[in-house]
Amino acid sequence: MGVEILMPALSPTMTEGKLAKWLKKEGDAVKAGDVIAEIETDKATMEVEAVDEGTLTRILVPEGTENVAVNAPIAELDGGGAPKAAPAPVAAPAPVAAAPATIPAAPRAVSAEKDWGPTKTMTVREALRDAMAAEMRRDADVFLIGEEVAQYQGAYKISQGLLDEFGPKRVMDMPITEHGFTGMAVGAAFTGLKPIVEFMTFNFSMQAIDQIINSAAKTLYMSGGQLGCPIVFRGANGAASRVAAQHSQCYASWYAHCPGLKVVAPWSAADAKGLLRAAIRDPNPVIFLENEILYGHSFECPTDEDFILPIGKAKVEREGTDVTILAFSIMVGMAMQAAEKLAEQGISAEVINLRSLRPLDIDTIVASVKKTNRVVTLEEGWPFAGIGAELAMQIIEHCFDDLDAPPVRVHGLDIPMPYAANLEKLALPRLEQVVDAARSVTYR
Partner 1 sequence: MAAKAPPAKRRAKSAAEQPAMGRDALLQAYRDMLLIRRFEEKAGQLYGMGLIGGFCHLYIGQEAVVVGMQAALKPGDQVITSYRDHGHMLATGMEARGVMAELTGRIGGYSRGKGGSMHMFSREKGFYGGHGIVGAQVSLGAGLAFANMYRGNDHVAVAYFGEGASNQGQVYESLNLAALFKLPCIFVIENNKYGMGTSVDRASASRDLSQNGSPWGIPGEQVDGMNVVTVHEAAQRAVAHCRAGLGPYLLEMKTYRYRGHSMSDPAKYRTREEVQKMREQHDCLETARAMLLGQGVTEAELKKLDDEVKVIVQDSADFAQESPEPPESELWTDVLLPSPGSDGAFGQGVK
- Catalytic sites, residue numbers: 178, 247
Among 177, 246, 303, 321, binds partner 1 (CB under 8 A): 177
Q: Which of residues 50-89 bind partner 1 (CB under 8 A)?
A: none
Confirm if 150 and 176 have CB atoms less than 8 A apart.
no
The answer to whether residue 385 forms part of the interface with partner 1 (CB under 8 A) is no
The answer to whether residue 363 forms part of the interface with partner 1 (CB under 8 A) is yes
The answer to whether residue 128 forms part of the interface with partner 1 (CB under 8 A) is no
ω before 359 within 30° of 0 (cis)? Answer: yes
The answer to whether residue 215 forms part of the interface with partner 1 (CB under 8 A) is yes
Q: Which of residues 327-356 bind partner 1 (CB under 8 A)?
A: 356
Residue 211, beta-bridge partner list: none
CA 263 to centroid of chain Cα atoms? 14
The answer to whether residue 238 forms part of the interface with partner 1 (CB under 8 A) is no
Which of the stretches 129-137, 182-190, 410-418, 420-428 binds partner 1 when contact is defined by CB under 8 A? 182-190
d(CA 373, CA 443): 12
The answer to whether residue 27 forms part of the interface with partner 1 (CB under 8 A) is no
Question: In this structure, how many other beta carbons lie within 10 angstroms of the beta carbon of residue 29?
Answer: 11
The answer to whether residue 225 forms part of the interface with partner 1 (CB under 8 A) is yes
d(CA 241, CA 202): 15
d(CA 116, CA 24): 49
Q: Is 344 helix (H, G, I), strand (E, B) or coil?
A: helix
Q: What is the DSSP code (8-state) at residue 25?
A: -
The answer to whether residue 111 forms part of the interface with partner 1 (CB under 8 A) is no
d(CA 210, CA 200): 18
DSSP string for residues in 208-223: GHHIIIIIIITHHHHT
Which residues, at least 6 apart from 439, have a Cβ–Cβ distance to it below 8 Å? Answer: 342, 345, 347
Among 68, 184, 245, 396, binds partner 1 (CB under 8 A): 184
The answer to whether residue 359 forms part of the interface with partner 1 (CB under 8 A) is yes
Among 51, 88, 158, 186, binds partner 1 (CB under 8 A): 186
Beta carbon of residue 316, minimum distance to partner 1 (angstroms, whole number): 15
Beta carbon of residue 397, minimum distance to partner 1 (angstroms, whole number): 9
The answer to whether residue 251 forms part of the interface with partner 1 (CB under 8 A) is no
Beta carbon of residue 149, minimum distance to partner 1 (angstroms, whole number): 15
Confirm if 428 and 239 have CB atoms less than 8 A apart.
yes
Among 125, 358, 374, 409, binds partner 1 (CB under 8 A): 358
d(CA 333, CA 351): 10
Residue 123, beta-bridge partner list: 298
Among 214, 348, 433, 440, binds partner 1 (CB under 8 A): 214
Among 151, 226, 306, 422, binds partner 1 (CB under 8 A): 226
Site for partner 1, rule CB under 8 A: 143, 169, 172, 174-175, 177, 179-193, 210-211, 214-215, 219-228, 259-260, 262, 278, 281-284, 308, 310-313, 356, 358-363, 394
